[in-house]
Structure 1
Amino acid sequence: MINHQDSFRLMKRGIIIIILLCIAQSHFGQAKKLKQANRLFENKAFVEAASLYQELEPNQEVLSNLGDSYYYNFQLKEAKVAYNELFNSYKDSLNKEIYFRYAHTLKGLNQYEEADKILSEYLNYEVNTKAFIEKLSRTVPYDYTIKSVNSGSSAGDFGVSYLGNEVVFASLRNSKSPSYKWNEKPYLDLYKASVSNDISFDNVIPFSEEINTDTHESNATFTTDGKTMYFSRTHNKQVKIGESKYAVVKIYRAELVDDIWTNIEVLPFTDDSYSTQHPFLDEKNNRLYFASDMPGSFGSFDIFYVDVNGDSYGEPVNLGETINTKHREQFPFVSKDNVLYFASNGHQGLGGLDIYMTHLKEEGHSTPMNLGSTINSGMDDFSFVLKGSFEKGYFSSNRDGIDKIYAFQREENKRTYLVEGEVRDKNTKAILPGTKITLLNEDGSIAGETYVGEDGKYVFETEPNKKYKIEGYRDFYIPTTEAFNTSDEGKIELNIELEIESYDDAEEIVVTKVDGYIYIELENIYFDLDKWDIKPQAAKTLDVLVDLLKKYPRMEIQLGAHTDSRSSEAYNLKLSNNRARATLEYLVSNGIDSKRLLSKGFGESQPLVNCSDNCTEDEHAINRRCEFIILK
């Protein structure tokens, strides 16, 4: 018979088994759900993946993928929550690229101070976005007035190109299109429209049933006669590249024959292992620019071009590290004056993709310039195009949560041209307050002067397209001069750090002694008894001093003559003055300006060996000397 105590034990054991089974089942369910979420994440089905990750225990893997799922769909408030928890718990073990995405998430939410801290850790140097925006306001070539374009849809539009009097753009408005797993929105198609008042797209219709398919089409560009087009199309099948799967994008070409777009073919430099996208054909129709992550790229996507010769194409050429970074450079547009406009999140910016400009030159492209806060935002800003007038155009942005097309009108910004920098000791790198900085025009005339403060910094306003020199000078230091040109393109704030070297560091014969004075140490100059004329041996010594003074035209010195104590004080003082004066006259006769020289006789008042009336001949010789002290 089972007693009550045994019955209780059996019941307790059963409860424990049930609890363990529930825990095991829950763990199995969590593992299964994580596997499913990861599969969706790898297939870029970010909306579904995020939904599943939200139901899982928030470990490092879950929080990282959850944050990324929101980030890639521009749900930045949600991404911030996930990234914030990830950083609070696992910061020291994170991949550094997560720092980059977290910082851009914060920038997109206009939380610049917090974003700059994260980005500074990522880049290993200090970032100050607010100061950068303020600097841009003084230096960008143009200010932009922007207005949202009314296209008759709120689904999402971007990427305007011109076709005669019409515009062509990509849109998500085709509700009959299959759903794209990345964002669960329709696939992109191309549309065309007429334009009224620059801010309304009228008579919007699908571009061509021959071009639009059940996958993405976007970013059309046309020859000047309108009979050939290039555009981006996404493959409807994903291919595995490395550890992930991607639906690669390729550039296609099509011809207009009898008002029908036909002869549609993929370009020969595309491939299933990388994407080519965002084509732009220059005005002469002989160079096609595009973005790609093909081999030879510096990062995620770079800007390339190929030369076009009829139906043949040259080899893709990367535009180089001045333009391309380890991150994304996309959406190229080249104006008639050979200025490249492109979108990037790899150069310093306001957040997300920003629009930049650079002058394309055979000898080297200019440093890209951010177009500034009148057109760029903390979100993605891209697909910049100009009309022929250079004053108007379009760009795209998701600053309001979805991709929209914006019209802009630009006018010249009244820029401030600055040269700025700081002054440091060449050897110790210590800041040198009180240094005099002089800005010189090309003809040597003074354009400005200042003395640096405790921070060692200086700043001058300059004019465009001029040659200048900037000089740093302080007592006991060798003046340093840097030449520079101002330009009307690229960066017009020049940072010139002046490193100046002390005489003591530059010359072995210049020594700072314990009394605080800086001496020029030369062989002693000897005079005949009761004489002060310069003997040949003394002249050789003084010639070394002449060379030093000519090498450093601003050096000023004191010539000090000393005697021994074997005559009266009055006699010795007169004798030493004569000898100091004779030394000065020798230097002047050899081309040294007397204004740089001070002669002084000290008589017997400053003996090196204080032996009074009991000096040996050697001690008298030591006291009988000339000393050269640098005054400035």
Structure 2
Amino acid sequence: MKKHTYILASLLLVSGIALAQKENIKRANKLFKMKAYTQAAKTYETKERTQEVLQNLADSYYYNTSLQKAIETYRELFVKYGDSIDIEYHFRFAQALKGVKNYKEADEHLSKYYNKPVNTLEFIEANNKITPHNFKLKEIVNEGSSSDFGLSFYGENKVVFASTRNTENPSYAWNELPYLDLYTATLTNSNTLINVQPFPEAINTSLHESNAVFTKDGKTMYFNRTNSTRKKTDEARIAHIKIYKAELINGEWTNVTALPFTSNSYSTEHPALSKDEKTLYFASDMPGTFGSFDIYKVAINDDGTYGEPENLGETINTKHREQFPFISEFNVLYFSSIGHQGYGGLDVFRSNMVNGGFDKPVNLGNIINSNLDDFAYVIKEKDNVGYVSSNRTGYDRIFSFSREENPLTKYLVEGVVQDKNSKKLLPGALVEIINQSNKTIKDTVVGENGYYVFKLEPNKLYKIRGTRQAYIEQELEFLTGNYGKSHNIDINLESLVSVEERIHQNEKGELHVQLDKIYFNYNTSEITNEAAKTLDVLVDLMKKYPSMKVEIAAHTDARGSEQYNLNLSKQRAALVLEYLVNQGINKNRLKSVGYGETRPLNKCIKEGICDDEEYDINRRCEFTILK
């Protein structure tokens, strides 16, 4: 009997231990799904190392940047259960390996993941040759906090950032640091944040607030805030993130409201404003993404409403995370991605706006980017200075940077502007570079040596245009080659005088269109049928040369008062201008001037001294080419 009682007690004990084990695993899984990775890892560490436990334990270490522990656990997972592991674990294991710069082993897993060869060291070497800028990075001194990130511009002298420095806030289950709040500060010349002040309670709550961006007038702010309610996902409840808008009224932040396209079912985060403040860029994992978080844009309408969010497409977004967009005053999109090839973790990329879309992203290189997460990049393009956040030191930190052009990445286009026939150099000529959006992006006026040089992006299609007064405009299309190369394009302009018999140059260097004389009947401003036929010659000439601009100068004879003649000449010039416009010439290409009797061609400078034919000579219209 005692024996049976002992066996029964043992069975109950084993059963109880198994039940407790099962309950503990269930609790750990719930913590994992809630992204409470630190607490989840502590429980998993004590459990039997099944495939599920190893997978979640490795991921918990990975998401909390405990990379050595993550690597050891992933490696154990692949040794024990390699044939049955989901392909996504190859990606995360590779990222953990890249985080400690073990690129060789990382590439083995990435090659399996992408089903094609991956060579990170080769990429790093090549990327140094295509990164548009060289950077100098310096950590910002910010005492009183173990974690700060997401610095943004706030007026002329202040900045705003997110920080965990408020120890009265509850701890975040993900990393057990206090919840984030937003702070203002002044950044000194010695790269130190001083006068750090929290935003008021209307902005900072018991939840997370971060990633603020402001309109130029400082009266509107967009920022992140986690939801106060959690959305149930399987057994766990996830607090998603929303973008909020706040208004500064009478010195106080008020009207704090979530944007209409936010949701309790997905996150919207990391707002960024276009230069004209008519477009808001942000990151989201809303339905319709390519996998994880994607970059979106949404129109801000004049009446304060918003359009429908638009995904920026697969050129920018991958099946992995794209976050922290920033759009510069030059319409360059900067963002962080773990999906595009990089150095490890989130890397910062740039993409130029072309024809309303964005071109292939370029990694900013190994100063801005590290083997860990680099994000929240903002810049003042004209000043070549900005800020970026990174956890390369173990915690999130803010860095300032300056930059200069990387000479290895530019394609040089150079040449001289000269007369096509005489080969004489043409100082004063304007040379323009035009992009595929038909916008002039660079220009210069050549000096006495006629020489120009431009630094352009490689492997792109451009046009180059040369113009000079008295010459025919020339425009050529060309394709730049590889980085660090150059291309010589001499611009040969042909003189209008040499190709158009009706165009002559006077002793002052002025160009005149020589037409049959346009005579006006005495004391009228009407254009006769004969005058119209003559003006049609000018119409054809101006249509032939679309950039030509002409001054219409009308003159009278000396009969009548000076004021009357001045007014009459203005009427005549205006009437000629109107005729040309009616024939299809843009009014912006024309200028009408009335000189009255002030510029006679003969001695008939006053009334009563000449016969009618001599006076008729001064009653005329002249056409001077302005451009």
TM range (shorter): 0.5 to 0.7
Q: Which letter does structure 2 place at the counterpart of 1:485?
A: L
Q: What is residue 125 of structure 2 aligned with on the other side?
A: 134
1:174-573 matches, within 5 Å, as 174-197=166-189, 199-241=191-233, 245-310=237-302, 311-362=304-355, 364-415=357-408, 485-486=479-480
Structure 1 181/463 Cα, relative in aligned 2: closer, same or farther at 3 Å? closer
Q: What is residue 32 of structure 2 aligned with on the other side?
A: 41
Q: What is residue 56 of structure 2 aligned with on the other side?
A: 65
Give the whole-Å Cα distance in 2 for the aligned partners of 1:186 and 1:338: 36
Shift, 1:390, TM fit: 4.1
Q: Deviations over 1:49-79 (max 9, x none)?
A: 1111111000000011111111111111111
Q: 1:88 aligns with which of 79, 87, 93?
A: 79
Shift, 1:288, TM fit: 0.6
Assess if the C-alpha contact under 8 Å between 1:67 and 1:79 holds in 2. Answer: yes
Q: Residue 318 of structure 2 aligns to a residue in which SS? A: coil
Assess if the C-alpha contact under 8 Å between 1:332 and 1:340 holds in 2. Answer: yes
Q: Residue 291 of structure 1 aligns to a residue in which SS? A: strand
Shift, 1:80, TM fit: 1.4
Q: Deviations over 1:538-563 (max 9, x none)?
A: xxxxxxxxxxxxxxxxxxxxxxxxxx
Q: Deviations over 1:408-433 (max 9, x none)?
A: 11111121679xxxxxxxxxxxxxxx
Assess if the C-alpha contact under 8 Å between 1:168 and 1:207 holds in 2. Answer: no
Shift, 1:198, TM fit: 6.1
Unpaired runs of 5+ residues, structure 2, are: 412-454, 462-476, 486-627
Structure 1 465/327 Cα, relative in aligned 2: closer, same or farther at 3 Å? closer
Give the whole-Å Cα distance in 1 for the aligned partners of 2:97 and 2:229: 34
Structure 1 148/243 Cα, relative in aligned 2: closer, same or farther at 3 Å? same
Work out the number of aligned pairs and report it: 425
Assess if the C-alpha contact under 8 Å between 1:241 and 1:273 holds in 2. Answer: no
Shift, 1:235, TM fit: 0.8
Give the whole-Å Cα distance in 2 for the aligned partners of 1:394 and 1:127: 31
Assess if the C-alpha contact under 8 Å between 2:409 and 2:458 holds in 1. Answer: no
Structure 1 342/464 Cα, relative in aligned 2: closer, same or farther at 3 Å? closer
Q: Residue 402 of structure 2 aligns to a residue in which SS? A: strand
Q: What is residue 5 of structure 1 aligned with on the other side?
A: none
Give the whole-Å Cα distance in 1 for the aligned partners of 2:386 and 2:456: 29
Structure 1 48/215 Cα, relative in aligned 2: closer, same or farther at 3 Å? same
Shift, 1:245, TM fit: 3.1
% identical aligned pairs: 51
Mean Cα displacement is larger for which, 167-176 or 13-22? 13-22
Give the whole-Å Cα distance in 1 for the aligned partners of 2:234 and 2:129: 45
Structure 1 466/318 Cα, relative in aligned 2: closer, same or farther at 3 Å? closer
Give the whole-Å Cα distance in 2 for the aligned partners of 1:381 and 1:466: 28
Q: Residue 56 of structure 1 aligns to a residue in which SS? A: coil
Q: Deviations over 1:29-61 (max 9, x none)?
A: 211211111121122221111111111000000
Query: What is the TM-score with the length of structure 2 in the denominator?
Result: 0.65
Structure 1 485/240 Cα, relative in aligned 2: closer, same or farther at 3 Å? farther
Give the whole-Å Cα distance in 2 for the aligned partners of 1:416 and 1:253: 40
Shift, 1:19, TM fit: 4.6
Shift, 1:224, TM fit: 0.4
Q: What is residue 96 of structure 2 aligned with on the other side?
A: 105
User: RMSD between aligned alpha carbons?
Assistant: 2.4
Q: Which letter does structure 1 place at the counterpart of 2:184?
A: K
Q: Deviations over 1:61-107 (max 9, x none)?
A: 00111111111111111111211111111111111111111111111
Give the whole-Å Cα distance in 1 for the aligned partners of 2:478 and 2:88: 37
Unpaired runs of 5+ residues, structure 1, are: 1-9, 419-461, 469-482, 494-632
Shift, 1:387, TM fit: 2.4
Q: What is residue 418 of structure 2 aligned with on the other side?
A: none
Structure 1 466/347 Cα, relative in aligned 2: closer, same or farther at 3 Å? closer
Q: Which letter does structure 2 place at the counterpart of 1:299?
A: G
Assess if the C-alpha contact under 8 Å between 2:329 and 2:380 holds in 1. Answer: no
Give the whole-Å Cα distance in 2 for the aligned partners of 1:336 and 1:111: 38
Q: Residue 186 of structure 1 aligns to a residue in which SS? A: coil
Q: Residue 358 of structure 2 aligns to a residue in which SS? A: coil
Structure 1 236/415 Cα, relative in aligned 2: closer, same or farther at 3 Å? same
Shift, 1:463, TM fit: 9.1
Shift, 1:236, TM fit: 2.5
Mean Cα displacement is larger for which, 69-78 or 261-270? 69-78
Q: Which letter does structure 2 place at the counterpart of 1:146?
A: L
Give the whole-Å Cα distance in 2 for the aligned partners of 1:354 and 1:74: 15
Q: What is residue 151 of structure 1 aligned with on the other side?
A: 142
Shift, 1:132, TM fit: 0.6
Structure 1 464/191 Cα, relative in aligned 2: closer, same or farther at 3 Å? closer
Assess if the C-alpha contact under 8 Å between 2:330 and 2:381 holds in 1. Answer: no
Q: Deviations over 1:295-314 (max 9, x none)?
A: 22112111111111241111
Q: Which letter does structure 2 place at the counterpart of 1:98?
A: Y
Query: What is the TM-score with the length of structure 1 in the denominator?
Result: 0.64
Give the whole-Å Cα distance in 2 for the aligned partners of 1:119 and 1:110: 14
Q: Residue 312 of structure 1 aligns to a residue in which SS? A: coil
Structure 1 363/284 Cα, relative in aligned 2: closer, same or farther at 3 Å? closer
Give the whole-Å Cα distance in 2 for the aligned partners of 1:467 and 1:208: 49
Give the whole-Å Cα distance in 2 for the aligned partners of 1:23 and 1:61: 22
Matched, 1:120 2:114: no
Shift, 1:364, TM fit: 3.9
Q: Residue 372 of structure 2 aligns to a residue in which SS? A: coil
